[in-house]
Amino acid sequence: MQRTNTRPRRSRLDQGYMGFLLILPWLVGFLIFKAYPFVSSLYYSFTDWNLFSGGSWIGIQNYVTAFTNPKTVKALRVTFVYAFMTVPLKLMFALFIAYILNFKIKGVGLFRTAYYIPSILGGSMAIAVLWRAMFKNDGVINRILTILGMENINFLADKTWALFIICLLRVWQFGSPMVLFLAALKGVPEELYEAASIDGASSGRQFLKITLPLISPVVFYNLVTQLVQAFQEFNGPYIITQGGPRNATTLISLIVYNSAFSEYNVGMSSAMAWIMFVIVMVFTAISFGTQKKWVFYSDERGDR
Amino acid sequence: MSATILVFLVIGALLTGCGLYGNAMQGRDVDGFAAALVQSRNLYLLLGILVLLIVLYRILYRRCDTRQRHVLSTAVRYVILVAVGILMVYPLLWMVGATFKDNVEIFTSIGFIPHKPTMEGYRAAMNDYGGDINIWKSMLNTYKFVLPRVVFTVVSSTITAYGFGRFNFRGRKFLFAVLLSTLFLPQVVLNIPQYLMYSKFGWVDSPWYLALIVPSLFAQETYFVYMLIQFMRGIPRDLDEAAKIDGCNIMQTLVLVLVPMLWPAMVSAALFQFMWSSNDFMGPLLYVKTPSNYPATLFVRLSMDGDAGFNWNRVLAISLISIIPSLAVFFMAQSQFMDGITAGAVKG
């Protein structure tokens, strides 16, 4: 008895020690590759650091420039427009398709796969090339417009359209939020719908009053991850439009990249990166803060 | 018949009428409003027919009994799913077709089946670019850093997840909170100091892709660590205890007991890391400078910038070749992908 009593205690101590050893590589990596860069970029943002020659402390000058220079102000505005155009469109589309797929439909797997392919490839260079080929002035999309009898649009040279094309590339990749919505919809108990039907609720009302509240945790998760992603968008505008026409698709991430690697102005670049970081944090905080108001966790009520 | 249906019926009829009128008037000398109708005749026709079909559906729906309604709505759902599916996949199909077209046909036909199939694009795609890089070499370069990254990420993430998921050490709660907060840390904030640091280490433009590989040894892709921890929570602790009683040490418990159970999650992590790393553009853009070391992403961009405007079949062929491995992996492991997404995100 004596032995069995002391052994587990000692081995638990051993274990605790081992646990720390196991996560040690992560901790070291975190300090070198995340914590240090994170703090030093905050420091750089208060300097006029040059990529090659160093620099000195200049206080909040970079931030003043960021909010007064028309180019950066425009980038901030464009980034907001981009994020608030892309995320709702993408999520609504994902939810709509998931909703239809959730009816007992044969070949769900096939459809799900077809809808998921763009998400797997969407970030690749190949798709950016394809997008440019399709939306070119004499590209396929304009051919289709001609057949429909509409005027051709110079998508990549038009200020509003160019941003929309970049946005469309992301909306096209609605696969992963869709898969998440689908999994959540499958978890909504069938009886609830049956009961609502008997009470005479229309399918629209059922969706608003039953489905949406029950899948709200997933809506929340998708909203946060997609917003964080959208604010950081880089590949699309960098490759397809190069930020043009006339900076209409220059998002903050492009300014961050360009000021550091074409103007070698590390200070300015870091300041823009930090502004973006704060924006992302604010939206994440808002989502988390308001979550109590609209996210419904079924375990809170203890009925599941 | 309700008022709404009537209104829609009128709108549909009007639109269709405009479309038909435009088609009839086509080629004649008209101006003003009629000219506009002729211009967009097919659009009007399309919209009109669409509205009329919706009206037809509503009318039918009202007349049907419950069983027929079920059939009808299922049919509509299939129509929507197929239509959206075509919309989703068509760009890719068009891309495959375009690689077999000549450069004139790419921009003159909207179908994806080439009229005069040619291998010209593929032949040109094999050419070297600037003498020291071609598509095959660049793809080889891609997997030179993607494969180590996949292996290192999975191993290091599993070990970290094991530490967080199964042990109670001092500061565990705090460190776990730190880990979770990095889930939302935008990479953009880190890029520049990382670049400055890696250039001090001599990792920029390293022929061994050190800047791209080394961080993966330290479980820095939080998403995977989190996914594995979530998965590990579902494995009963009794298994670990049993292994310990049987005399397994801590690493033996991990390798012999937990890894076989965790395997599906590890495979998902490997698959996602494979996709993300092969698509990664920012990393190579910052850390690979010598053209002969270019991975496929940079090579595709190089050829696009070089050829834009004339050799599109070549550029598209190169692009297509560069995504074939990813497509193949996806089709072989579809279900793991779907499971992987849900494993990381949905609780329980």
Residues A169-182: pLDDT tens digits?
999 999 889 988 98
Across the interface, do A235 and B179 touch by the CB < 8 Å criterion?
no
Q: Name the average pLDDT for chain B.
A: 87
Q: Are A36 and A172 in a shared domain? A: no
Parent domain of A37 = 1-44
Q: What are phi and psi of B133, to 5 degrees?
A: -145, 140
Residue of B nearest to A283 (CA): B184
Q: Tell me the CATH number at A130.
A: 1.10.3720.10
pLDDT digits (tens, 9 = 90+) for B64-115: 888 888 888 888 889 889 988 888 888 999 999 999 988 888 888 788 888 8
Mean pLDDT for A78-82 is: 95
Q: Are A5 and A114 in a shared domain? A: no
Which of B169, B182, B319 minimises the CB distance to A130? Answer: B319
For residue A13, the distance in angstroms to the closest alpha carbon of chain B comes to 8
Domain assignment present for residue A49? The answer is no
Residues 6 or more apart from B144 whose CB is under 8 A from it? B209
Secondary structure string (H, E, C) spanning B242-279: HHHHCCCCHHHHHHHHHHHHHHHHHHHHHHHHHHHHHH
Q: Which of B50, B71, B192 to probe by mutation at the A interface, max A CB count within 10 Å?
A: B192
Mean pLDDT for A290-296 is: 81
pLDDT higher for A59 or B345?
A: A59
> Which residues from A are below 8 Å from B81, CB to CB?
97, 100-101, 105, 111
Q: Are A92 and A159 in a shared domain? A: yes
pLDDT higher for A37 or A216?
A: A37
If pLDDT is split at 50, 70 and 90, which confidence band does A2 have?
very low
Mean pLDDT for A197-204 is: 83
- Beta carbons of B167 and A14 less than 8 angstroms apart: no
pLDDT digits (tens, 9 = 90+) for B69-81: 888 888 888 988 9
CA-based end-to-end distance of chain B: 49
The B residues from 186 to 205 touching A (CB cutoff 8 Å) are: 186-197
Task: Give me the pLDDT at residue A303, please.
Answer: 41
Task: Give me the pLDDT at residue A300, please.
Answer: 52
Res. A304: pLDDT tops 50:
no
Give, in degrees to the nearest 5, the angle at Cα B10 between B55 and B58.
15
Domain spans of chain B? 1-63, 135-345
Res. A7: pLDDT tops 70:
no
B34 near A CB under 8 A: no
Residue of A nearest to B111 (CA): A140
Percent of chain A with pLDDT over 70: 93
Residue of A nearest to B75 (CA): A105
pLDDT digits (tens, 9 = 90+) for B230-244: 889 888 888 888 898
> Which residues from B are below 8 Å from A149, CB to CB?
22, 38-43
CA distances from A5 to A2, A11, B6, B32, B167 (A): 5, 11, 83, 96, 20
Domain assignment present for residue A297? The answer is yes
- Beta carbons of B258 and B266 less than 8 angstroms apart: no
B21 near A CB under 8 A: no
For residue B171, the distance in angstroms to the closest alpha carbon of chain A comes to 9
Q: Are A231 and A274 in a shared domain? A: yes
Q: Which ranges constitute the DSSP H helices of chain B?
A: 3-25, 33-39, 41-63, 66-98, 103-106, 120-125, 135-166, 172-181, 187-201, 210-213, 222-233, 237-245, 250-252, 259-279, 282-287, 296-307, 312-332, 334-345
Q: Are A151 and A255 in a shared domain? A: yes
Number of compact structural domains in chain A: 2
Burial (CB count <10 Å: 0-12, 13-18, 19+), residue B5 = middle
Domain assignment present for residue A127? The answer is yes
Q: Are A69 and A25 in a shared domain? A: no
Domain assignment present for residue A53? The answer is no
Mean pLDDT for A41-59 is: 90
Q: Please compute Rg for chain B using Cα positions.
A: 29
Q: Are A140 and A108 in a shared domain? A: yes
Domain assignment present for residue A56? The answer is no
Mean pLDDT for B31-45 is: 77
> Which residues from A are below 8 Å from B182, CB to CB?
30, 34
Domain assignment present for residue A55? The answer is no
Rounded Cα gap, residues B226 and B216, in angstroms: 15
Give, in degrees to the nearest 5, the angle at Cα B313 between B312 and B317.
115
For A105-109, B83-87, B269-273, which range has the lowest pLDDT when averaged over its residues?
A105-109
Res. A301: pLDDT tops 60:
no
- What is the number of CB-based contacts under 8 A between chain A and chain B? 279
Q: Are A39 and A168 in a shared domain? A: no
Residue A169's H or E segment, with its range, is helix A159-171
**Tokens 């950081």 found at:** A232
For residue B62, the distance in angstroms to the closest alpha carbon of chain A comes to 14
Task: Give me the pLDDT at residue A8, please.
Answer: 45
Mean pLDDT for A4-12 is: 45
For residue B10, the distance in angstroms to the closest alpha carbon of chain A comes to 22
Task: Give me the pLDDT at residue B348, please.
Answer: 31
B269 near A CB under 8 A: no
> Which residues from A are below 8 Å from B312, CB to CB?
133
**Tokens 């939810």 found at:** A95
The B residues from 160 to 179 touching A (CB cutoff 8 Å) are: 160, 162-164, 166-172, 175, 178-179
Rounded Cα gap, residues B319 and A134, in angstroms: 14
pTM beyond 0.90: the answer is: no
Task: Give me the pLDDT at residue A1, please.
Answer: 40
Task: Give me the pLDDT at residue A10, please.
Answer: 44
> Which residues from B are below 8 Å from A23, CB to CB?
159-160, 163-164, 175
For residue B37, the distance in angstroms to the closest alpha carbon of chain A comes to 9
If pLDDT is split at 50, 70 and 90, which confidence band does B1 have?
low
B338 near A CB under 8 A: yes
Q: Are A31 and A69 in a shared domain? A: no
B332 near A CB under 8 A: no
Q: Are A130 and A265 in a shared domain? A: yes
B16 near A CB under 8 A: no
Residue of B nearest to A133 (CA): B312
If pLDDT is split at 50, 70 and 90, which confidence band does B131 have?
low
- Beta carbons of B19 and B44 less than 8 angstroms apart: yes
> Which residues from B are below 8 Å from A18, CB to CB?
163, 167, 250
pLDDT digits (tens, 9 = 90+) for B168-185: 888 999 999 999 989 888
Task: Give me the pLDDT at residue A210, please.
Answer: 86
Q: Are A40 and A70 in a shared domain? A: no
Res. B289: pLDDT tops 50:
yes
Task: Give me the pLDDT at residue B141, please.
Answer: 95
CATH superfamily of B135-345: MetI-like (1.10.3720.10)
